[in-house]
Every structure is written in C-alpha cells, then in structure tokens.
Amino acid sequence: MNGTGIWIAVGLTAVGCYLLKLGGLLVPAETLERPLVRRLSGLLPVALLAALTAQQTFASGGALVLDARAAGIAAAALALLLRAPFLVVVAAAVVVTAGVRALGG
C-alpha cells in the first residue's frame, strides 16, 4: 500500500469514527433505540473482533498458517482466564511469541 492509500484510509476512518461519536450525542434517542439496531450494534463488535483476532493470529498474506503467534495468543487467552490486567495480557502474547521464535518455532 502506498502512502496516499494509507492517508485515504486514515482520513476516512477519522471522519467516519468521529461522525459516529458525534451522531450518538446529537441524534434523537429513538433513532438508535430500536431493538434490532441496538442488538446488532452490540453484536457487530463481537463478530469483528473475533474475526480480526483469528486472522491476525493465523493469516500470513492470503494463506492460513500456524506459527509462533498462535502460542502467543494462547498465552494471552490464559492470562485473560486468570483475570490478568490488560497490559499483562498483551505482554504475555508478545513475550511468548518472541520466545517461541527464538527457539526456532
């Protein structure tokens, strides 16, 4: 991706995300309060985060791969189960991934 393409993406995201935030503060409540809209808005982040987590763990370009990242994310999942703080969760993933790579994994 060239610099211009990235700047286009940055600009679109900045404007879009700001309008979403401002929209919530300005629109009449009933517009967003319809039950279907509310339920979808709660579930959309779940779907996106799950898909992004999986892709960034198992994808390399357009191919599915199993590498050191999987071990790192497993460590992060374990840290989450142990109710570790956010920064510890991220650090666990980074340290385990680096360790597995250093060992040739």
Binding to another protein in span 36-65, by CB under 8 A: 36, 38-59, 61-64
Structure tokens belonging to residue 83: 């109710």
- Taking the complex as a whole, the smallest distance from the CB of residue 77 to another protein amounts, in Å, to 6
Alpha-helical runs (H) found in the chain:
3-26, 29-33, 35-58, 68-81, 86-102
For residue 72, give the nearest of 45, 49, 53 by alpha carbon: 53
CA angle 100-101-103, nearest 5°?
Answer: 65
Binders of another protein among residues 1 to 40 (CB under 8 A) are 1, 3, 5-10, 12-14, 16-18, 20-27, 29, 32-33, 36, 38-40
- For residue 78, state whether it binds another protein (rule: CB under 8 A): no
- Taking the complex as a whole, the smallest distance from the CB of residue 56 to another protein amounts, in Å, to 4
Total of chain residues touching another protein, rule CB under 8 A? 75
| 71 vs 89: CA distance, rounded Å | 13
Length of the chain: 105
- Taking the complex as a whole, the smallest distance from the CB of residue 32 to another protein amounts, in Å, to 5
- Taking the complex as a whole, the smallest distance from the CB of residue 78 to another protein amounts, in Å, to 11
